[in-house]
Structure 1
Amino acid sequence: MDELLAEIAARLNVTGAQLAMIVDGRPVEAVAGVANTELGTPVTPDTLFQIGSTTKLHTAALVLGLADAGLVDLDRPVLDHLPELRLPGSEAVTPRHLLSMTSGLDNGPYADTGRGDDCVARYAELLREIPPVFAPGTGFGYSNASTVVSGLLVERITGLTWDDALQKRLAGPAGLAHTVSLPEELPYHRLAAGHDPGGKVVRPWVFSRGLGPSGSTLCSTAADLARFGQVMLEHGTAAGGARVLSREAVETMRTPHVEVEARWFAEQWCAGPYRKVWDGVAVYGHGGTNLGGSSTLVWIPERNATVAVTVNTPSRGYPFADAVLTAVCAEVLGLTVPVRSEPDPGLPVDAALYTGVYETCDTRYEVRERPGGIAVTARSGGESLTSDLLPLGDHRFWPADDRLGGMHRWDVAFVLGEDGRAVRFLNGAFAARRRGDLNG
C-alpha cells in the first residue's frame, strides 16, 4: 500500500499522506511523503494532520452518547437546553435536525471568536442576525453553524468544554490516543503542516476554537480515524471492546433523514454521516478540509471495513481521497466506486425556473440566463467568479468552472417551490436561500 499511496501522492502533488484500513478486524496502514518540507520530517503512522469537517462525526457521536445516557432527547427543541439561543427560526430546531443537516441554519461565518473556554458560545451569538435558509426539517443544507450549536449543546449538558468532552467521553473510551484539539497538546505529537500544491508550507496555522466542533481545530491520524470508524461499524464498541455508543445510536447514524439534491457530494444524510451507494453497497462517512489539512473517513458495514485518508495538501485532499478509495475498494473490497456523471448539453434548460438572487451570510449567487442555458456568478469577500452551469437533469448542473466549489469538485442543484420556481440554490452541500429576482 505504501507504493500505491506514494504513486497517487506524486501524481496529484500531495506533499504527505496517510492511509489506514481495518478490514475484518485486520489493520493495514501506509504513509507517503513529508510532514513539513521546511524541516524535511517524514510522515509516520502517528503524524497528526488537521482533519477539517470529518470532526463533525466526533461531535455527532458526543451528542448521541448524551442521548444514550438519557441527557438529551433528539426530538425535543434545542432551546430546552439552550434557552438563550434565540436564533431566527430556531424554536423548532431539534438535535436530530442539527446532526442531519436539516436545521435550516445558514452555514455561518468563518470567524475566530478567541481562545477562551466560552468561544463556542460566542460563535453561536454571531448567528443571531442571520436568517434561516429553510424551515427546520423541510430540506438539506450543510451547516457548520448547526454543528457548532451541537457542540454548545454538549458543553451545556456536560459542564465541560467541547474539547474536554471530546477527550473524556469519546477519544479516551475509544482509545484514540492521537486525536487532539487543543494547540497546547500539539507539541507532544508529531505534526504535519499544511502545504500548497507546490510543496510550500502554508502560514499561518489557522485555528478557530469557536468553530472547533465543526472542524477548525481537531488533528488526528488516519489510524485513529479508522479506529473511530470501527465504533460505528462494531455496534458502538471500540477496538478494545469498550462500549462507546449503543446499538440504537449506531443505527441512528445509519438511518437516512434527508435526500441531498446535489448528488455527487452525498446521496443522503444521516445523523452525522453521509450515505452513498457504491456498487449496490451502502457506504457511510464524511470528509473535511481546512487550510492545514484534509481527511476522509468511510465505513462499509457490508464489507466489515473502515478506510481513512489524511493529507497535508488540502487543495488536493478530495481528489486524492477519491483516487485512493477507488483503488482500495477495487483491490481489497471488490467494490466499484461510481464515476462522475457527465453533463448532457442536449438537455433542455428552462432558465425561468432558476434565474434570481440567492444568498448565504457571506456569499451572493446571481443566476442568469445565457444562450442555451444558465450561468451563476458567486460574489464573496470582494471577489467574484462566473461559471456556466451544464445540465445533468433533475435540476442538477455541473459547473464549467470547478473553482465554484472551492476545494470541492461537485455538482450544484436547485430546489423548486410550490410555484415551480427555485427557492434554494445548493453549491454542492451549501444551501443558499432565494433573495429575489435579479432586478428586485
Structure 2
Amino acid sequence: MRRTHPRRLVAAALLAASVLAPIAAVPATAVPAAEPARHVTVGPTPDGLGPELTARLDRTIKKVREQAGIPGVVVGLWMPGRGSYVRATGVADTATGRPMSADSYVRIGSETKTFTVTALLELVDDGRVELDDPISAYVRGVPNGHRITLRQLAGMRSGLFPYTADADFTQALLSDPERYFTPRETLAYGFKHPNTFAPGTQFQYSNSNLVLLGLVIEKVSGRRLADFIHERVLGPAHLRHTLFPNGPRFPVPHPHGYTDQTLSGETADTTHWNPSWAWAAGAMISDLHDLRRWAPIVATGKLLSPETQRQRLRTLPTGFPGTSYGLGIFKTNGWIGHNGSIPGYETVTVYLPSKKATLVIMINTDIPYQGQEPSTLLARAITTVATPDNIYDKDRAISPRP
C-alpha cells in the first residue's frame, strides 16, 4: 500500500508543487449551464507542425506520460507561422479504460488566480480600488492587515500564513472532501498562525492571499465573485466553456481525477470532491478551447488598460531560478501565464510573446514523479522539443514539494 504524509497536500510552491486553490462554498451562486460537448480535433490540425516535429512530440509526451504514470493527457500547442498540434492520449477513467478526450472539461486549480486578479485589476481600471490600498480597508481581522496591500496579496508577498499549510485544515478537508467551506472558514485556519515575514519583503505562495482578493471584489462590486468574473472577464473574453462552479458540479465530458493526497496515502478518485475550499484561488473549470483563447488575453492584457497590464507584468523574483511572479501571473524563460494543481488535476496555460505561441496542458492526476509535478515535466519536455530557446521551467532541478 502506498503511503504518503497528508501534509504534502499543503505545499504550494509555484510551478512545482501542489497548489490547493481556495474556493468558497457559497451554494447560491448561479453559473451558466454547461453546453453540449464540442468536437475538438484529436491530433495535428490541418496546418500541423509537420511529420518530424509531430512525431517527436508524440514520442516525448508518451514517454513522460508512461514514466510519470499519468493516466490521461491533453496537449495543445499553437505556433503561428509553423502550425499547431493537439493530442489527447491515455485514459480518462482508469476503471473503464475510456480514452482521454480533447474536448474534456477539467478543474484548472490555481489558473483560477489569473481570472480573480484580472477581475481585481478591472476594478483598478474602474477607479474603484487602488493596488496600494491596505486589505484592512476592505476586510477586517487580517493579521497586520493595515500594512498589507492588495498589490502584495496579488503578488504573493503579503507574509500571510497559507491556510492550506495548517494541519487542522488538511485533516478537515481530507476527512470529508465533499464538505463546503466558506472563504471565512478557510482563512481562519491561516489567521491563527503568525505571519511568516514582513509585507513586501519576500515571496511566498499563499492561497490565503487570493481568498482575500475574492472578498475584496465581492465587497466593492456588490456581486458574488462567480457572477462578477462571469460578467466582467469570461463574457468579454468570449470564454463559453469556463465556469466558476457551485460546489462539486462538473460539466461533461470530463475525466476522472486521481490523487494520493489522502489521509491513508492511497490513491483516490477526486472527480466529485468539492473545490469550495479553493474558491478565488483555484476552483474554476475550463477546457482546451477556452484556455487557448485565454493565454494571450491574460498575457497581453487585452481586458485591461496598458498601464494596469504593465503593473501586472512587473514581476519579482520568487526564489526559484528563472521564474518571477507578477500580479497573479508568472514568467518563466519567456513564457507568461500560470499553472494549476488541485487534487486529481493539473494544468498549464502559457503564452510566448516572442513567437506568439500558446501551450495548454491538461492532465487528470496531481501525483508527483520523483518530487516533480507531472504537468511541469510535460511542459518542460514539450518546450524542449518545440521551443528549445524557451524551455518552460528550464532551471528547475527538482520540486520542493515534500
TM-score, normalised via structure 2 length: 0.72
- 1:20 pairs with 48, 55, 76, which one? 76
Select which of 281, 304, 312 maps to 1:214.
281
Give the Cα–Cα distance (whole angstroms) in 2 for the partners of residues 219 and 226 of structure 1: 14
Aligned residue in 1 for 2:90? 33
Give the letter aligned to residue 405 of structure 1.
R
Number of residue-to-residue matches in the alignment: 327
Describe the superposition over 1:72-102 as per-residue Cα deviations: whole angstroms up to 9, x where unpaired.
11111122233xx222211111111111011
Alignment partners' CA distance in 1, 2:247 and 2:280: 17
Aligned equivalents of 1:74 and 1:172: distance in 2?
A: 24
> Can you give the 5+ residue segments of structure 2 that lack an aligned partner in the other structure?
1-53, 261-265
- CA-CA distance at 1:294 after TM superposition: 0.8
SS of the residue 1:123 aligns to? helix
Identity of aligned residues (%): 24
Q: Which residue of 2 aligns with 1:312?
A: 364
Which protein is bigger by CA-based radius of gyration?
1
For 2:310 and 2:157, locate their aligned partners in 1 and report how far apart those are by CA, in whole Å. Answer: 18
Letter in 1 for 2:292: A
Of the three residues 157, 162, 167, the one matched with 1:107 is 162
Distance, in Å, in 2 between the alignment partners of 1:341 and 1:230 is 24
What secondary structure is seen at the aligned counterpart in 2 of 1:42? coil
Give yes or no for contact 1:293–1:312 (8 Å, CA) kept in 2: yes
Could you say if the C-alpha distance between residues 121 and 161 of structure 1 is closer, same or farther in structure 2, counting changes exceeding 3 Å? farther
- Map of 2:304 onto structure 1: 245
1:231 CA displacement? 0.4
Preserved CA contact (<8 Å) 1:286 1:297: yes
CA contact (8 A) 1:105 1:143 kept: yes
Deviations 1:283-335 (A, max 9, x none): 22322222121112222212212212111021148543334333433443342
CA distance in 1, matches of 2:144, 2:250: 42
- Work out whether residues 36 and 201 of structure 1, in 8 Å CA contact, stay in contact via their aligned partners in 2: no
Displacement of 1:236: 2.8
Specify which structure has the bigger relative contact order, considering alpha-carbon pairs within 8 angstroms and separated by 6 or more residues. Answer: 2
5+ long unaligned stretches in structure 1 = 238-243, 343-397, 407-440
Q: TM-score, normalised by structure 1?
A: 0.66
Equivalent pair of 1:19/1:223 in contact (CA under 8 Å): no
Q: Which residue of 1 aligns with 2:335?
A: 283
- Post-superposition shift, 1:155? 1.4
316-325 vs 4-13, which moves further: 316-325
Residue 39 of structure 1: how far off its partner (Å): 3.9
Query: d(CA) in 1 for partners of 2:308 and 2:109?
Result: 23
Give the one of 174, 198, 208 matched to 2:237: 174
Distance apart, 1:56 and its partner CA:
1.5
Residue 203 of structure 1 and its aligned partner are, at CA, apart by: 4.4
Q: Does 2:147 match 1:86?
A: no
For 1:94, the aligned partner's letter is T
CA offsets, 1:120-169, max 9 Å, x none? 24433444432211111121111110111011111112222222222222
1:292 matches 2:353: no
Q: More displaced, 39-48 or 326-335?
A: 326-335
CA RMSD, aligned part only? 3.0
CA change 1:232–1:23 in 2 (3 A) is: farther
The answer to whether structure 1 residue 141 and structure 2 residue 198 are counterparts is no
Question: Which structure 2 residues correspond to residues 35-434 of structure 1 after superposition, within 5 A?
Answer: 35-82=92-139, 85-109=140-164, 110=169, 115=180, 119-183=182-246, 186=249, 188-195=251-258, 202-203=269-270, 205-215=272-282, 217-233=283-299, 235-237=300-302, 244-256=303-315, 258-261=316-319, 263-264=320-321, 267-277=323-333, 282-316=334-368, 319-337=373-391, 339-340=394-395, 405-406=401-402
Whole-Å Cα distance in 1 between the matches of residues 251 and 376 of structure 2?
A: 31
